Amino acid sequence: NAGVMQNPRHLVRRRGQEARLRCSPMKGHSHVYWYRQLPEEGLKFMVYLQKENIIDESGMPKERFSAEFPKEGPSILRIQQVVRGDSAAYFCASSVDRPPYEQYFGPGTRLTVT
Amino acid sequence: AQSVTQLGSHVSVSEGALVLLRCNYSSSVPPYLFWYVQYPNQGLQLLLKYTSAATLVKGINGFEAEFKKSETSFHLTKPSAHMSDAAEYFCAVSSNTGNQFYFGTGTSLTVIP
């Protein structure tokens, strides 16, 4: 059973470009979570999605960030018009829809904005 | 809303010494509790989980944690630290409905040879 897949593993973007981060959950998992981690800092929750639904986006910046989890295909975290402050590691996690809801993490995408 | 507090953002132990990483949660209803480990430049890996089946939970790599409802704690321990245990450790709590998942701020463990 493949784990959570994220790609690309490393992404370099110039200021003003768009960044698209993809996450394929574990087989059988219907919940996807995105987190951001800055160097020497903990995990910051961004958004929680189920198929075709955003359940909780309370951690998402109001502008430039969006996320989706379509019926088919991976979940996408999209950052428009990136700025240097967006440089971070972005982690995706997935879980099943039953207790105890433990999350399994992907290896992360390290975004560098130049 | 639930929250998780990890006391001590940095912990150093000598190789072979006891490892104790502290975690306290706030919840009126016993939640589900987890410990994760993160090695440099990697994602988080589940170490162990508490699901109310047993208060003492054994995980991978020799770690264990004890759920103490009276103290609202879920501290992580390992009898003898190895150099390979050096990593960041995160405590987390999930609500009974699974709609909310909270991570602590993490504890960086250093193992001194």
Please list the helix, strand and coil fractions of chain A in percent, rounded to the nearest 5, in that order.
5, 50, 50
DSSP state of B61: G
3-class DSSP assignment, residue B51: coil
DSSP character for B29? Answer: S
pLDDT at position A41? 77
Count the residues in chain B: 113
* CB-CB neighbors (< 8 A) of B65 in chain A: none
Substitution target from B9, B23, B27, B44 for chain A, most A beta carbons within 10 A: B44
The C-alpha R_g of chain A, in whole angstroms, comes to 13
CB contact under 8 A, B43 and A107: yes
Count of alpha carbons within 13 Å of A35, Cβ hemisphere only?
Answer: 23
To which residue do tokens 């490393």 refer? A10
- Would an 8 Å CB–CB cutoff place B49 in contact with chain A? yes
Range picked from A93-97, B1-5, B11-15 for highest mean pLDDT = B11-15
Residue B101's CB: how many other CB atoms inside 10 A? 25
Is the bond leading into A100 cis (omega within 30 degrees of zero)? yes
pLDDT of residue B36: 97
**What is the distance between the alpha carbons of residues B68 and B30, in angstroms, rounded to a whole number?**
10
Query: How close is the nearest chain B Cα to the Cα of A86, in Å?
Result: 17
- Report CB contact under 8 Å: B103, A45: yes
Question: Using CA atoms in the order A38, A69, A102, B77, what is the torsion angle rounded to 10 degrees?
Answer: -10
**d(C-alpha A65, C-alpha A36), whole Å:** 12
Test B43 with A106 for CB contact under 8 angstroms: yes
User: Are A100 and B49 an interchain contact pair (Cβ–Cβ within 8 Å)?
Assistant: yes
Q: Per residue in A23-81, pLDDT tens?
A: 999 999 999 999 999 877 788 999 999 999 999 999 999 999 999 999 999 999 999 99
Q: Is the pLDDT of residue A1 over 70?
A: no
Q: What pLDDT shows up at residue B39?
A: 94
CA distance linking residue B10 with residue B21, whole number of Å: 10
In this prediction, residue B1 has a pLDDT band, given cuts at 50, 70 and 90, of: low
The pLDDT value given to residue B62: 96
